Structure 1
Amino acid sequence: MTSKKFKRNGLLFSLCGLNCSLCPMFIRGRCSGCREGSTCYMICEFAPCSIEHGNIDYCFECEEYPCKKYEGIDLHDSLISHRNQLKDMEKAKAMGIENYRAEQRVKKGILDKLLKEYDNSNMDVFFCLAVNLMEVDDLKRILDEADGLTKNMNLDEKSSFMKDSLNECAQKRNITLKLRH
């Protein structure tokens, strides 16, 4: 194992393809993941590989990508869904990291609004999952509709309405809004 520090330049999107800015642990400030100066290389199989390949910021920058580390990567979840990990890595590679980061900032803004206006203090994981897995256009449409329809509702009613709306749209898109452990 190397003694070099693991460093990253971008914190919204992880080295291996997770959308950190949409993770409850990251939002709560309890993540020791791919942060600059982190020692996560002790538990993460991707971090030492990044160091060995010149401290690359994203696995897709490596000439060996995708490697064996990606076999079955989307089969497990933690507090963030891993279902789109490889797909999102490919998307970032194809559209360019700056464009991908811009999309993630939009998603983070949507998540912030959901947490501020629709979270009755037990919906953060669900909202993070929905924003991570669903498309921006669907999320914006749902928020726009909800803003008008929930004006006279209390927070519990608004939260329930939003959960139902997100689940309904997700089902139409064949997206399951539940973490797999």
Structure 2
Amino acid sequence: MKGFTREETRFSLCGLNCALCSMRLGGYCPGCGGGAGNQSCTIAKCSLEHKNIPFCWECSEYPCPRYESFDDGDSFVPHRNRQQDIALAREIGLEAYLAQLEKKQAILEKLLAHYNDGRRKALFNTAVYLLPLEDLQSVIAVLDGRPELEGQPIKERALTAVGLLQEAADRRGISLKLNKEPKKG
């Protein structure tokens, strides 16, 4: 959207974790308000109308009707944690939240570099997006503690990583599948 820019591009205006987005990591989007990319956002337009607030939660109208049903379906990233991520950022402070995002981003990059058999990018991205940092750190510690994996074919390494992430998700009752948007009508 023309004229929409933000200083902080790792955490979106509406609470999506741009730092973990496959579009941003792939260089296709600079993050919310970071320049050219996916800028046709109604929430960005709303921000401009409300004196360029940096985050929706800073608006006196938050949460507004724009948030109704927004989390019901996912795009290429999960939307389910958006409001709880906003709550966590508000609780611990933006800098501490962004530090956690940086740690999650490093974990995602490690999974993609060492355990992706070409078919796991979306699953790894979703798992890192949805699972708490401590669960992800535990999964990485288990993977790092198994040096025999290094000699395994990539497919075996990928299956091991997926299994550990799925176990962590199951313990929390988290689905690692993206939710399709409900049909309108």
Where in structure 2 are there 5+ consecutive unaligned residues?
181-185
- Give the equivalent residue in structure 1 for 2:156: 157
Where in structure 1 are there 5+ consecutive unaligned residues?
none
Deviates more, 1:84-93 or 1:128-137: 84-93
Note if contact 1:50-1:57 (Cα within 8 Å) is conserved in structure 2: yes
Q: Against the structure 1 CA distance between its residues 78 and 44, is the aligned structure 2 distance closer, same or farther, given a 3 Å change threshold?
A: same
Secondary structure of the equivalent of 1:78?
coil
Deviations 1:112-150 (A, max 9, x none): 111111111221111110000001111111111112222
Match of 1:91 among 88, 93, 111: 88
1:48 Cα offset (Å): 0.9
- Give the equivalent residue in structure 1 for 2:26: 28
- Structure 1 runs (4+) deviating above 6 angstroms are none
What is the distance in 1 between the residues matched to 2:111 and 2:27?
18
Deviations 1:33-92 (A, max 9, x none): 523344855x31100111112212211111111111111221110110000111111211
What is the distance in 2 between the residues matched to 1:69 and 1:115?
34
Deviations 1:157-178 (A, max 9, x none): 1011100110011011100000
Q: Against the structure 1 CA distance between its residues 109 and 75, is the aligned structure 2 distance closer, same or farther, given a 3 Å change threshold?
A: same
Note if contact 1:73-1:85 (Cα within 8 Å) is conserved in structure 2: no
What is the distance in 1 between the residues matched to 2:153 and 2:36?
41
Q: Equivalent pairs: percent with the same residue?
A: 40
TM-score by length of 1: 0.91
User: What's the C-alpha RMSD, in Å, of the aligned pairs?
Assistant: 1.7
